[in-house]
Structure 1
């Protein structure tokens, strides 16, 4: 799994983004579980993810309502299929309001740019 840490920091919240080739919801769940074997990620407030498969889109907000849809929209726009993208957030104590969606978008953008090399 490709992991890019410490990409965004805002009002105490910190973000990371991860991903891997993936072709099913079950495989996505296994990959997220594997990511959470790392203590740091298991303690994260949210591990939101999105995946576009031949069977259709799959997402999980993990308590960060709406974040999975933001990831899916970006994957659709970029034409990225069969690749799981996970945005991890460690809550810093202050609510970010709508900025949290901007940060999720930025995290996905950073990941996709890194993926393309």
Structure 2
């Protein structure tokens, strides 16, 4: 009856294929048949299996990457006590602030990860970058794009950005930070290139990562509170 009336019979056999993964693959295979009823689906199934394995390999590689980052950070913490973490860096009388790293964004084997530090002076920027690059994974990444906005005395805003080879990515980050109204913040987005060109999507992921780490650190809430205060003040001024 195949292929006119019924699909070919198949069995999924693999030691690593269990539970949810087996169900997902079986669902992909069944959906592929339903999309090609009455046609030969063996080659379609083969492509479906290839895509499933490729996606699975990407997820596992990302998980391994995260584990390696955690291990390297734990080793760094063990080798440096809390006082040395905040000590001046190589003779520069500038303290390194705490650095928060965000969730990974994965697309076609490219991996993006944001980092954020609260900075109050421009001299802290290279210190933070140097601290981040103590991680071999970050130091050898394809791009480490960053942007910062620091409010100085007399309300002067010091701001700058760096593409690190990803043309216009830094300026886009800086524009987003300006729109969000965040101050005294340095955001770094690390990208590990996966071998597949993402086109404009790479900028979307960089900005998404930037906004996510700002939100995760609670800075979006502060910006919204400031906006509410300004609107409330304007309303009161008009009433007067």
> What TM-score comes out, normalization by structure 1 length?
0.92
Q: Which runs of 4+ in 1 moved over 4 A?
A: none
CA distance in 1, matches of 2:179, 2:190: 21
Count of residues in correspondence between the two structures: 116
Unaligned runs of 5+ residues in structure 1 are none
SS at 2:164 equivalent: coil
CA contact (8 A) 1:67 1:104 kept: yes
2:174 is the counterpart of 1:76: no
Please report how far the alpha carbon of residue 50 of structure 1 lies from its aligned counterpart in structure 2 after TM superposition: 0.3
**Deviation by residue 1:72-116 (Cα, 9 ceiling, x = unmatched):** 111111111111000110000011111111001110111111011
Alignment of 1:9-24 (within 5 A): 9-24=106-121
Q: What is the aligned partner in structure 2 of residue 57 from structure 1?
A: 159
Alignment of 1:1-117 (within 5 A): 1-6=99-104, 8-54=105-151, 55-116=157-218
**Larger proportion of strand:** 1
CA contact (8 A) 1:50 1:60 kept: yes
CA distance in 2, matches of 1:24, 1:91: 31
**Larger proportion of helix:** 2
Unaligned runs of 5+ residues in structure 2 are 1-98, 152-156, 222-240
> What TM-score comes out, normalization by structure 2 length?
0.46
Q: Which has the higher relative contact order, 1 or 2, with Cα contacts under 8 A spaced 6 or more apart? A: 1
